[in-house]
Every structure is written in structure tokens, then in C-alpha cells.
Amino acid sequence: MTSILRRTTFIVADAEASARFYETVFGWTRFYDHELVARAGFPPVGPKDEPVKLVMLKAEDPLIGMLGFLQYLEPPFDTGVLQARSKVRMGEPILVIQTDDVQGAHTRAVAGGATICQPPTDWSVPSHDGSSVIHLRSMSMFDPQGIYSEINQHLS
């Protein structure tokens, strides 16, 4: 059996603003940008079909590693964004991004309105099999929509 993780999609208050943030900070490009009707139950938000806007961005790989933003145009729920976040919550995803320019991403994220939890910091972690050490420069942030991410750069 073959299964791949193609995309993670976040429900946001403003899909356009979310997409622009990641286009600016990481240079990703649009793969999909449409208004459509989300069938009831996909995702489960209410008893009826709902109009939505879906924007998907792609990074390096043309099939995997995409990031989606789903905006309900007539939201059947509270769309308030938590402000001044400093901690993640149980069950919340962590968006992990690898880049070759953490410092540049930091500068662009700050200019784009992100809340920086940890500025670029050098540290090391064991490799997946424990046979070596991976040296990283990392930062963490909440984007303007409240999505938490860790951004890593592998160092030589």
C-alpha cells in the first residue's frame, strides 16, 4: 500500500492574507485559488454545504508539501483569531518548514506581522537513527492567523 501526505490545510479567517504571508516569507507559489462549495462533512462544520475559498501554495515539490488555507465565506462559527499568542495548545499542529535562509525568513515574518516566539537560534539534535548530530539554525513563530511554525536551516 502506498500513501503520501500531500497537503496540510488550515481553516483561517482570511485565506488571501494567509497565502500572501507565506508567499512573501518563503517564496512559495499558488497552486490552487478558487471559491467552491465544501460538501457537508468535509470538513464537518455544520449540517449543510458551505461556500468557501481555498488557496493552496506549493514549495519545492510539485505534489507534496503543499499548504492550504480554507476560508468559509459565510462562516458557521466564530472566526476570531487569537491575538498575542505565546504558547501552543493540545492537539494543535506544528508546521515545520526547512529553508536555506532562516534569518531572511525571520526578517520577512516580522515585517509581515508574525509573533516571534524564538528568534533565530543555533542548536543541535540527534539524527533520526541517533548515529550523528544535525546542526540547525531555527526560529519559531505564530503567523498573523495564529498558526504556529518552526523554521529550520541545516548548518554545515
Domain extent, residue 138, equals 95-154
Has residue 20 been placed in a domain? yes
> What is the chain's mean pLDDT, rounded?
93
Indicate whether 85 belongs to any domain. Answer: no
**62 band by pLDDT with thresholds 50, 70 and 90:** low
Quick one: 56 and 105 in the same domain? no
Q: Residue type at 67?
A: L
- pLDDT of 30 reads 96
Q: For residue range 117-149, list pLDDT tens digits in order.
A: 999 999 999 999 999 999 999 999 999 999 999
> At 83, is the pLDDT very low, low, confident or very high (cuts 50, 70, 90)?
confident
Q: Would residue 1 count as lying in a domain?
A: no
- Distance in angstroms between the alpha carbons of the first and the last residue of the chain: 36
CATH code, domain with 62: 3.30.720
Whole-number Å distance between alpha carbons of 138 and 120: 5
Give every CB contact of residue 11 below 8 A, 6+ residues apart in sequence: 43, 70, 71, 72
